[in-house]
Amino acid sequence: MTISGYGIPRRLDLPGGLFIGTLNSSANQPSPALWLVLAFLMTLGGLSPRGASAQSVNPASTTAATKGTATAVLAGGCFWGVDGVFKHVKGVTNVVSGYAGGSAANAQYEIVSTGTTGHAESVEITYDPSVVSYQQLLKVFFLVAHDPTELNFQGPDEGTQYRSVIFYTDDHQKLIANDYIAELNKEKVFSSPIVTEVVPLKNFYPAEGYHQNFLELHPNNPYIVANDLPKLEELKRHAFAVTPDVTPRGASPAALWQITDAATGRTGNVGLISSVSQPFCSTCNRTRLTADGQLRSCLFATEETDLRALLRNGVDDAGIEAAWRTAMWGKPAGHGINAPNFVQPQRSMSAIGG
């Protein structure tokens, strides 16, 4: 993943280092304004699960401002793997494997396995909404934990007990889930229709003890190795950590942050420009990426390249880099800010500097 230089990050999908690992830090997190910019980057490219295209939809809502606990209940095939994935998401405090959709009388593995109980193998996720939002959990659910296009099966497991379901606990969760699915469909993230059900949660019944925390306790189990460990690698591969870069920057108005790719350990910088000055503009050597995906040679440039359109048309990394280099090479002296015919674009002046 290229961050610095002329390239752009195409796989920043899980904000704030959501994958639990040594890179995570709750201290010195970016400002809300920076998160808005990073959130856009997350939509440029992204996770490519089974059947998904190269683009990725990022839920719009942010995390809650205050600490607390909330619960989400999701079903996406065998609960061993889904449990294991969400236990590695920062902000998740507990995950329980169990059954939802049927009655207490038949909430037993042997009976549920017949596919006649109405139950789906599910997980109950307890999380801190000040660290991770419900929308972000849904993103992990759809793009990492399972394939939402498989009807009544997941991989090698067949039956209605392996169906894809979001069990919402209130109308807010219902609205978020339906809106997110609609956005995924609109953006054609998956090559096949999404079959995920969105239904109210009536009851959740914990599964037998030997099913709990199965992935962590049995990482060498052949089923886990073949079907679930790759999901953890996918989650880890798209996680990153963001920390402030305190390197002195002279007169630059940019707030600089360092991004670390959890998979490779590579780092790069992102600068948030919230204001500009003429002295800075006269020596600036940065390109600009606007909030709606337009690449400019300067924050004040009037000519733009639509990067999202390029990505959706299948342009590869080399093509994106070429577009970025073209923008850089096209920078006029002083960027034209003092030219008599300069017209300030009618859009937000916040931008990414890479």
| Catalytic residue ranges | 78
Q: State how far the alpha carbon of 323 is from the alpha carbons of 2, 42, 46, in Å.
A: 14, 19, 19
Q: How far apart are the first and last CA of the chain?
A: 13
How far apart CA 144 and CA 83 sit, in angstroms, is: 12
Contacts 24+ apart (CB under 8 A), 260-263: 260/23, 261/1, 261/3, 262/17, 262/19, 262/21, 262/23, 262/236, 262/237, 263/1, 263/236, 263/237, 263/238, 263/239
With b for 16 or more beta-carbon neighbours within 10 A and e for fewer, the 200-227 pattern comes to: ebeebbebeeebbbbbeeeeeeebbeeb
* Amino acid at the residue 237: R
How far apart CA 248 and CA 254 sit, in angstroms, is: 11
Helices (H) and strands (E) in the chain, counts: 11, 15
Could you tell me which of 8, 75, 91, 78 has the C-alpha nearest to residue 45?
8
How far apart CA 124 and CA 95 sit, in angstroms, is: 6
How far apart CA 9 and CA 321 sit, in angstroms, is: 11
The dihedral over CA atoms of 160, 184, 310, 140, expressed in degrees to the nearest 10, equals: -70
How far apart CA 163 and CA 312 sit, in angstroms, is: 30
Q: At what angle do helices 229-237 and 79-86 cross, to 10 degrees?
A: 30
Could you tell me which of 197, 173, 193 has the C-alpha nearest to residue 184?
193
Retrieve residue 172's tokens.
Answer: 């807010």
How far apart CA 79 and CA 228 sit, in angstroms, is: 10
